[in-house]
């Protein structure tokens, strides 16, 4: 299979690149900083020599976008928006221009598109999109708007010969350095892994192996298009999530934190509290209906497997 991954040098792209190369796929990575064989330079905004890789490819996976693990300043939020929308738009332009367009375009999105809620889970059919929730920070609505525009940009691309899928991914858990699991595991190891803001907010997540397997599944299933939630089937309250993670890394207790304490900690780590305070209660409705089988549906088991490979 001939595969093109845009933004493939980040943590998530590296995961799927390894999977694809291991089974013998021909993999091309679109990146701003080419470093190895198979890398092609692009700027994520304009067409160029790189678009020749799209013509004749079987699959395009677009994972490009500025990291969300940062302070949510106006500048950073604008960069999050622009990097996602611009890269998606130019991928669409390359597919439209191709004489032999790919058969499927998997476009990264995010579970953050759904509303902050505790009462019920969000699936693709009945989930509530975010942006109008009461009593949450105003900038959380901008995060949801980024996701909405990200998906809309793909849908606006007229690619009748290329199936479009939006990947509404939860937090992808991998033991690789500087990923979300690594960050949270280090916090737990330091004894700071207690409940935050009461701990009732839900955490949605997916094990790296299940994420990669879900991409394979979606490539193979020609009957599936549109938005698909990529999340383990059982989201859980943060207080339970972090307790299981503490136990997985060998800590029995963790200091709890109020919202204002979380703000101080997030500032020190140069990240944002939305990542842990927003309740992301998301379930994989379409994947389960289509018969996808999760290798790691349970967080307790998954966190122990991940911690066994974590380079603490």
pLDDT attached to residue 99: 98
**CATH number for the domain including 234?**
3.40.50.720
Res. 189: pLDDT tops 80:
yes
Q: What is the mean pLDDT of residues 169-190?
A: 90
Say what the pLDDT of residue 178 is.
82
pLDDT of 264 reads 52
User: 233 pLDDT band (50/70/90 cuts)?
Assistant: very high
Lowest mean pLDDT among 2-11, 58-67, 163-172, 184-193: 184-193
pLDDT band of residue 271 (cuts 50, 70, 90) is low
Q: Comparing 279 with 252, which gets the higher pLDDT?
A: 279
What is the predicted pLDDT for the residue at 73? 77
pLDDT of residue 260: 47
Q: What is the pLDDT of residue 261?
A: 60
Three-state SS across the chain? CEEEEECCCCHHHHHHHHHHHHCCCEEEEEECCCCCCCEEECCCCCCCHHHHHCCCCCEEEECCCCCCCCCCCHHHHHHHHHHHHHHHHHHHHHHHHCCCCCCEEEEECCHHHECCCCCCCECCCCCCECCCCCCCCCHHHHHHHHHHHHHHHHHHCCCCCCEEEEEEECEEECCCCCCHHHHHHHHHHCCCCCCECCCCCEECEEEHHHHHHHHHHHHHCCCCCEEEEECCCCCEEHHHHHHHHHHHCCCCCCCCECHHHHHHHHHHHCCCCHHHHCCCCECCHHHHHCCCCCCCCCHHHHHHHHHHCCCC
Please compute the mean of the pLDDT values over residues 276-291 and round it to a whole number.
Answer: 94
Query: Per-residue confidence at 266, pLDDT binned at 50, 70, 90?
Result: low
Does the structure show a pLDDT above 90 at 207?
yes
Say yes or no to pLDDT of 290 above 70.
yes
* pTM confidence score: 0.94
Q: How many domains does the chain have?
A: 1
In this predicted structure, the answer to whether residue 255 has a pLDDT above a threshold of 90 is no
Residue 308: alpha-carbon gap to chain centroid: 23
The two structure tokens encoding residue 269: 């780590």
Does 267 have pLDDT greater than 50? no
Q: Is 50 exceeded by the pLDDT of residue 269? A: yes
Sign, CA dihedral 33-39-40-44, equals: negative
Is the pLDDT confidence value at 24 over 90? yes
Kindly report, residue by residue over 102-156, the tens digit of the pLDDT.
999 999 999 999 999 999 999 999 999 998 888 888 778 888 899 999 999 999 9
Residue 209 has a pLDDT of 98
Q: How confident is the model at residue 184 (pLDDT cuts 50, 70, 90)?
A: confident
Rounded mean pLDDT of the chain? 91
Structural domain range at position 93: 2-308
Reported as a single tens digit per residue, the pLDDT across 78-107 is 887 888 999 999 999 999 999 999 999 999
d(CA 124, CA 265): 33
Nearest to residue 281, comparing CAs of 180, 200, 188?
Answer: 200
């Amino acid at each position: 299979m001939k595969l093109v991954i845009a933004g493939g040098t980040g943590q998530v792209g590296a995961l799927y690149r390894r999977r694809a190369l291991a089974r013998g796929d021909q993999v091309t990575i679109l990146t701003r900083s080419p470093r190895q064989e198979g890398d092609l330079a692009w700027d994520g905004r304009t067409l160029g020599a790189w678009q020749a890789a799209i013509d004749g490819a079987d699959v395009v996976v677009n994972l490009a976008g500025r990291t969300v693990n940062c302070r949510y300043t106006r500048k950073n939020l604008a960069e999050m928006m622009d990097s996602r929308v611009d890269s998606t738009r130019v991928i669409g332009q390359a597919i439209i221009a191709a004489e032999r367009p790919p058969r499927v375009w998997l476009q990264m999105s995010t579970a953050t598109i759904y509303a902050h809620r505790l009462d019920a889970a969000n699936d693709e059919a009945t989930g509530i999109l975010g942006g109008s929730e009461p009593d949450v920070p105003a900038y959380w609505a901008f995060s949801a708007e980024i996701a909405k525009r990200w998906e809309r940009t793909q849908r606006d691309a007229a690619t009748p010969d290329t199936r479009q899928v939006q990947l509404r991914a939860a937090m992808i858990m991998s033991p690789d350095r500087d990923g979300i699991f690594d960050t949270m595991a280090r916090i737990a190891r330091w004894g700071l892994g207690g409940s935050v803001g009461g701990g009732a907010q839900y955490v949605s997540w997916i094990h790296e192996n299940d994420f990669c397997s879900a991409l394979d599944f979606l490539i193979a299933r020609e009957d599936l298009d549109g938005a698909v939630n990529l999340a383990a089937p059982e989201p859980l309250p943060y207080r339970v999530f972090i307790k299981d993670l503490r136990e997985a890394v060998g800590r029995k207790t963790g200091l709890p934190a109020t919202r204002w304490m979380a703000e101080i900690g997030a500032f020190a780590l140069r990240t944002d509290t939305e990542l842990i305070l927003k309740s992301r209660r998301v379930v994989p409705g379409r994947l389960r209906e289509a018969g996808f089988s999760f290798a790691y549906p349970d967080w307790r088991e998954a966190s122990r497997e991940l911690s066994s490979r974590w380079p603490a």
